[in-house]
């Protein structure tokens, strides 16, 4: 049975508790512990910009938002779990394939440094130079190895990616480049959708090559002929005028 005295005791407790709580700071989640300041915390605190766990909080390049590539990049062959998914390098295939070649501006260079076959220049940046030249010189065609780069003009290129990159284009990636004496800028790149400076679709032209030529257009390969003014001498003059060679 409540007595007046007990009521006053409970009232005092309530008033004291309210005063105590009002004097406390508003509760907030634990502060984000993010040593490398990449937005991912060591314990996955919800107060961090990204709640996922950072498997290496000493390196801002390693976190769940990073990648093991894209394929062909240095992080594909560094034997590190860059994206914190417990897999490294070759275990990430086909996402990460050390044979793939994901070109950057700096990977393109003066085409006169390469080998000329027929009317185009060719090289391979994945260690398959001999194999690429063998296919290029074969009278019966063949499939070029990954890492092969072919350029007829300094401003256009075909790059062979790793098997499975794009079966529709035989794993070729097409590029339109802006070149000058300071180097190369990749203007546009891609597979079936890539267009040159005149609006022509690269794949639409090369897809007409007979299957044994691996989408390479040369005389009698099945592709539409180049305009009459684009003679071998014209092509040679453009190649020799590559501004990156000066």
Residue 90 lies in a domain: no
Longest dimension (CA), the chain: 113
Residue 128 lies in a domain: yes
Residue 36 lies in a domain: no
In angstroms, the CA 156 to CA 187 distance is: 10
Which positions ≥6 away from 77 have C-beta within 8 Å? 89, 98
Q: Is the pLDDT of residue 8 over 50?
A: no
Contact present, 33 and 42 (Cβ < 8 Å): yes
User: What is the domain range of residue 156?
Assistant: 105-245
What is the model's pLDDT at position 1? 46
Which positions ≥6 away from 170 have C-beta within 8 Å? 143, 214, 215
Contact present, 122 and 115 (Cβ < 8 Å): yes
Residue 78 lies in a domain: no
SS3 content of the chain, % helix, strand, coil (to 5): 25, 15, 60
Tokens 């594909």 -> residue: 76
In angstroms, the CA 186 to CA 156 distance is: 10
| Secondary structure element (H or E) that encloses residue 7, with its range | helix 4-22
Residue 151 lies in a domain: yes
- φ/ψ bin of 156: left (φ > 0), alpha (ψ from -120 to 50), beta (otherwise): beta
What is the model's pLDDT at position 6? 45
In the chain, the N- to C-terminal Cα span, in Å, equals 103
What is the model's pLDDT at position 70? 60
pLDDT digits (tens, 9 = 90+) for 174-209: 999 999 999 999 999 999 999 887 788 899 999 999
Structure tokens at 97: 């394939």
In angstroms, the CA 203 to CA 189 distance is: 11
- What's the number of domains the chain is made of? 1
Residue 182 lies in a domain: yes
Residue 150 lies in a domain: yes
Residue 77 lies in a domain: no
pLDDT digits (tens, 9 = 90+) for 42-72: 765 668 888 888 999 999 989 988 877 665 5
In angstroms, the CA 131 to CA 145 distance is: 7
């Amino acid at each position: 049975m409540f007595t007046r005295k007990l009521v006053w005791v409970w009232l005092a407790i309530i008033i004291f508790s309210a005063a105590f709580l009002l004097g406390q700071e508003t509760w907030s989640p634990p502060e984000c512990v993010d040593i490398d300041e990449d937005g991912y915390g060591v314990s996955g605190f919800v107060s961090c910009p990204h709640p996922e766990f950072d498997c290496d909080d000493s390196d801002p390049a390693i976190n769940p938002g990073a990648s093991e590539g894209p394929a062909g990049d240095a992080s594909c062959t560094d034997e590190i779990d860059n994206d914190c998914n417990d897999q490294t390098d070759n275990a990430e295939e086909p996402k990460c394939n050390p044979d793939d070649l994901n070109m950057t501006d700096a990977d393109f260079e003066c085409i006169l440094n390469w080998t000329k076959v027929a009317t185009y220049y060719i090289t391979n940046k994945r260690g398959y130079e001999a194999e690429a030249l063998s296919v290029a010189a074969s009278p019966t065609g063949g499939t070029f190895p990954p890492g092969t780069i072919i350029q007829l003009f300094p401003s256009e290129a075909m790059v062979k990616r790793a098997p499975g990159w794009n079966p529709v284009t035989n794993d070729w990636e097409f590029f339109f480049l802006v070149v000058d004496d300071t180097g190369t800028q990749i203007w546009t790149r891609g597979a079936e959708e890539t267009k040159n400076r005149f609006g022509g679709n690269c794949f639409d032209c090369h897809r007409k090559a007979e299957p044994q030529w691996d989408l390479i257009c040369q005389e009698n390969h099945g592709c539409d002929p180049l305009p009459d003014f684009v003679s071998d001498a014209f092509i040679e003059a453009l190649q020799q005028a590559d501004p990156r060679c000066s």
